Amino acid sequence: MKARPYSKWISRLFILSMTMLGLTGMFQMPLAKRYALTTVPGLAWTGDFFLVHKLHYLFAALLLFVVAVAAVNWLLEWHTRLTLTRLGVVRVTILAGILISGGLRVYRNLPGVTLHPDAVMTIEWVHLCLAMAMGVAALVALIRKGSAYAKWK
């Protein structure tokens, strides 16, 4: 049996960043206060929008690092010995959409940037729907016990 096609730390950092991005993304909506999560000892921070927003950016930076490492490794080495699985193609496509829509959300939040309200709403909904689609894709991968993005050629 061949070894893992890529390092475990890449997978673990990806899972950590995506999990925390999902949580901090939901906490930016008033879900933590609405469902009294902020009253649980040690979780009052979940209701602090600005802290949660900064954490979301921090984990987004971690995700960008992981994606950059994976992309560079793919271009330099992995593409000759690995191929993306069908589920891997779906997940990479969803991830690209999340990164693009997330970048648009960062741009929209810059001082002096004003976008049409329809554009803002479209960016928000696309980002949310893609995040939900990634969650569904991750669940499918877990259920099928085939969470690998890539396999040996």
pLDDT at 1: 45
Three-class secondary structure of residue 1 per DSSP: coil
Residue 60's nearest CA partner among 22, 8, 12, 111 is 22
pLDDT at 150: 75
pLDDT band at 49 (very low <50, low <70, confident <90, very high): very high
Question: Which one is predicted more confidently, 78 or 135?
Answer: 135
Three-class secondary structure of residue 90 per DSSP: helix
Report how far residue 13's alpha carbon sits from residue 50's, in angstroms, rounded to the nearest whole number: 24
Q: Within 10 A of 41 (CB to CB), how many other CB atoms are there?
A: 5
pLDDT band at 127 (very low <50, low <70, confident <90, very high): very high
Q: Is the dihedral of CA 136, 138, 141, 142 positive or negative?
A: negative
Q: What backbone phi and psi angles, to 5 degrees, belong to 6?
A: -145, 160
Tokens of residue 19, six digits: 């999990």
Tokens of residue 129, six digits: 């729907």
Sequence-distant (≥ 6) Cβ neighbours of residue 83 within 8 angstroms: 150, 151, 152, 153
Q: Which span out of 34-48, 94-108, 129-143 was modeled with the highest average pLDDT?
A: 94-108
Sequence-distant (≥ 6) Cβ neighbours of residue 7 within 8 angstroms: none
Question: Which one is predicted more confidently, 127 or 7?
Answer: 127
pLDDT band at 146 (very low <50, low <70, confident <90, very high): low
